[in-house]
Amino acid sequence: MKRIITYGTFDILHAGHINLLRRAKELGDYLIVGISTDKFNEMKGKQAYYSFEQRKAILEAVKYVDKVIPEDSWEQKADDIKNYDIDILVMGDNWSGVFDELKELCEVEYLPRTVGISSTKIKEDLMKLKEENENK
């Protein structure tokens, strides 16, 4: 069995996330998704709209995902790779090269992001709509 792992905040789930999860799952048999906890997001200076538990429940409902685990720190990836007997770490290509040191433990794949969509873009578009509506 080929085991895959990926990580992210996965807030405001969108088609780009689904594409990443689908393509990650196509590389193997079992997909584990590490999602940033609320505390870890706070340490990164990020704030998710949905709580960790809500994001976890949403991801558990995605057919490509076999297991969801909490991501509490940057450093835990090496331990997760060992503990879950991971064959491939998958990340979006916006992280290209960042996790290359983990190639000692498993294969590392950086998949292209879906063009034209991101959580940041969705949040920006929603803010524009809000401002436009307020100015009417």
44 part of the active site: yes
46 part of the active site: yes
Q: Which of 39, 46, 121, 128 is catalytic?
A: 46
Q: Which of 2, 25, 39, 44 is catalytic?
A: 44
| Long-range CB contact pairs, 14-21, < 8 A, 24+ | 14/117, 14/118, 14/119, 14/122, 15/114, 15/117, 16/113, 16/114, 16/117, 16/118, 18/62, 18/64, 19/114, 20/90, 20/92, 20/111, 20/113, 20/114, 21/62, 21/64, 21/65
Active site residues: 44, 46
